[in-house]
Amino acid sequence: MTIAFIGHGYVGLVTASVFADLGNTVWVVGRTREKIENLKKGVTPFFEPGLAELVKRNVEAGRLKFTLDYKDAVAPSDIIFICVGTPPKEGGEADLINVFMAAENIAKALVGYKVVVTKSTVPPGTNKKIGEILNKFKPYGASFSIASVPEFLREGSAIDDTLHPDRVVVGTTSDRAAEMLLELHKPINGKTVFCNLETAELIKYASNSLLSTKISFANVIALLSEKVGADAERVLEAVGLDKRLGRSFLYAGVGYGGSCFPKDVKALVSIARHYGYNFKLLRAVDEINKQTAQNFVEKIAHHFNNNLKDKRIAVLGLSFKPNTDDMREAPSIYIINQLVKLGANIVAYDPVAMENAKRVLPAGISFARDAYTAARGADAVAVVTEWNEFQQLDLARLARGMSTPVLFDGRNIYEPAKVKALGFTYYGVGRM
């Protein structure tokens, strides 16, 4: 099958590469000449494990093609996926300008019959508006069906999530479109859920918002654990053993970030408001998430008697989660900015995200080549992102290089007793 993807961000490029690897001819449309030329050479614009190899292999095989011209991609394709960004506006609602621009450009390039699918996360009613745009701008004789197939990729494991999803949601009222999408997804493991457009649109927001709620709940339990003298890790472990709940996403830390959870929580609040409902639960989830990062900063400040002037703090981990270089809404941004405002000197290290971090962190931040160099002479180390390499650090070596061995474990990746036995003053999240 020949298919096209509009957009080469995480969703567009990963999904396009996987479908190309499954034997399809896949076109990807971009807007930036430099990025398109790099992609033609197999050079990817972001880090995702295994993606560079996947892109290079399929470019060389002639199955994965990149262009700036919609006509190149739309005309030969049976199915066209819209995979552009939907960032939040000031009030939290999704900005759909890129989606509607993509729909207009697709419409003008339509030839014959096509299935136009939205993978971007959009509020209910958006796909119907896309249908109106397609009807308005399509040439005489062209026809189409619309569908919504939301993505559920996790950065850091996006390729595996594309091949082995828990579910493939297909929202459409067209039997022909449903059959074509079912055929395309035959090699993909995962239960197919058929529904109407509005249901598919809402599923993605509901899923991300519930996951965000679990994270915020875990962080409230951690805060309460510190106050009553409980161990949040044991509390959440026991709660997670209940098969009705599970442990996934029930982990305390410094809060969630990334391109999806923060914006999707705000967007669902906005969607509810549009229909006359005050989504107090998700408002609280968002507020708790902000407070969680602030609590971590206050914990650091409190250790130093609220005097961080000229204190050297080594921050380990900058990306919003491991196995990605994505800095969007990363908790490290807020934490570092607050520490700098309090007078601290920050030395940071991340395995892959430092170049992106330099563009969003305040001037004056120092960057180290590894964790041990970052910690050298530090008054404290703060672990913000739970990269695997941090879990295997030689903590005795880390302590020897520090001015004072103080460890703020923002992801609870260490056993407190073992760390304290090495001479550290240890602070976890919800742990004594």
How far, CA to CA in Å, does 275 sit from each of 10, 45, 201, 280? 31, 38, 15, 14
CA distance 418 to 298: 24
Report the Cα 401 to chain-centroid distance in Å. 34
Contacting residues for 302 by C-beta, under 8 A, at least 6 apart: none
Q: Which of 107, 236, 260, 269 is catalytic?
A: 260
Q: Put the strands of the sheet holding 191-195 in their side by side order.
A: 64-67, 25-29, 2-6, 79-82, 113-118, 143-148, 167-171, 191-195
Phi, psi of 180 (to 5 degrees): -65, -40
Catalytic residue flag (residue 260): yes
CA distance 348 to 229: 31
CA distance 79 to 74: 8
Structural contact between residues 42 and 59, judged by C-beta atoms closer than 8 angstroms: yes
Residues linked to residue 425 through DSSP beta bridges, in sequence order: 406
Which stretches of 248-391 are assigned E, i.e. beta strand? 312-316, 345-349, 366-367, 380-383
**Catalytic residue annotation:** 260
